[in-house]
Amino acid sequence: MVDDQKKFSKQLIGKTVVSKSGKRFGEVGDIVFETKSGELIHVVLKSPTQYTEKLELEKSKSGELLIPFSSVIAMGDFLVISEEDIV
């Protein structure tokens, strides 16, 4: 992988999370990963929108909304997710 294609977690924090159809979900508040393997598990939503309240998203023990990292399809100015993969 070329270095300019790598993303560090600190670069993702605060990015706006949108679906590929343009629906806004909120912002990246944190990232949950498996410590032994390094596998990325969830994106923790900060400032979730009203749209996310209608969805039955998984929640953390502290009540934060979680989006499976497997639904992420692009990272750039926004974190783009496939809405079909989370509902």
Indicate the pTM of the whole model. 0.84
Contact 61, 80 (CB under 8 A): no
Domain ranges across the chain = 11-85
- Give the pLDDT of residue 34: 92
The arithmetic mean of pLDDT across residues 57-62, rounded, is 92
Q: Strand 24-33 relative to strand 40-46: parallel, antiparallel, unpaired?
A: antiparallel
Check whether 57 has a pLDDT greater than 60.
yes
- pLDDT level of residue 62 (50, 70, 90 thresholds): very high
- Give the pLDDT of residue 1: 42
- What's the distance, CA 70 to chain centroid? 9
Check whether 14 has a pLDDT greater than 80.
yes
Q: Which CATH superfamily is domain 11-85 in?
A: PRC-barrel domain (2.30.30.240)
pLDDT, mean over the chain: 89
Check whether 54 has a pLDDT greater than 90.
no
Tokens 């969805």 belong to residue: 55
